[in-house]
Amino acid sequence: MRRRISHASDRRAYLTPDRLQQLSKLQKLIKTQFLDVSLLDQAFTHRSFANETNFKIEDNERLEFLGDSVLGFFAASILYDQFKDIREGSLAKMKSKLVSGPVLSQICKNLGLMEFIRFGKGEKDSGIKNERVMENLVEALIGAIYLDQGLDKCKSFISPHLKKNIDELNDLESVRDYKSLLQEQSQRLFKRTPKYTLVSDDGLDHDKIFVVRVEMPDGSSVNGTGKNKRSAEHAAAKKYLHQGRK
């Protein structure tokens, strides 16, 4: 029987040559060389394994907690820098999508991280396919990189994945609050708000096309179309802002 280690900080003492070899492969995969490889091992230790081993070791749940906050910080920072014309509420929606479970589990799959996690005997078959475990694993890895390498290295690891997913979000346009942006511009330039007028609503009841005109206080105007009045107003505001930037 293996000796039970009395302190989690002594984790290195139980790492076998095979496990160290696995962790070496993992470090090459994530392009990060750890100063304290036991932190990396902790990030890839499921609670079920920690409960079954004879060694007193810590699972990855605390690292997951830390990584969640670090991930949120970088996501907010990237969105703030990249989308300067989007308001706080819309940025919050984008951030929620960017750090969501499906995005994190896809990052896990893309990197092949599940090959390196250790489960207890009763958890492996179900855990290896569990997307919640994948999400937690990515967050735990981020937490471990932050503790071992600091913010700069953590940023260089996670930023490419976040930026890739920003590019792939298919509804970025819907979170841009163009009506609010146009109203702010109108207030700033003319001290008055734009006026929206319904021009037409043609078509069958279940398939109408709405046309709305937005008119600025200086008399300039454009039309926008949509499947309802609100989306037509949004389209008109967007069109006006884009035209004004040319």
pLDDT attached to residue 224:
93
**Distance separating alpha carbons of residues 226 and 203, to the nearest angstrom:** 12
Residues labelled catalytic? 68, 139
pLDDT in tens, 197-235: 999 998 877 678 999 999 999 999 999 998 888 888 988
pLDDT band at 13 (very low <50, low <70, confident <90, very high): low
- The average pLDDT across 48-52 equals 81
User: Where do the domains of the chain lie?
Assistant: 8-174, 178-245
pLDDT at 39: 94
| CA dihedral of residues 72, 73, 75, 78 (deg, nearest 10) | 170
Report the pLDDT value the prediction gives residue 142, as an integer from 0 to 100: 97
Give the CATH architecture of domain 8-174: Orthogonal Bundle (1.10)
Per-residue confidence at 11, pLDDT binned at 50, 70, 90? Answer: low
Whether residue 237 is predicted with pLDDT greater than 70 in this model: the reply is yes
Q: What is the pLDDT of residue 4?
A: 32
pLDDT over 50 at 6, yes or no: no
pLDDT in tens, 22-47: 999 999 999 999 999 999 999 999 98
Q: Which of 3.40.50.720, 3.50.30.10, 3.30.160.20, 3.30.565.40 would CATH assign to domain 178-245?
A: 3.30.160.20
pLDDT in tens, 132-163: 999 999 999 999 999 999 999 999 999 999 98
Q: Residue 218's pLDDT is what?
A: 94
Mean pLDDT of 64-91: 90
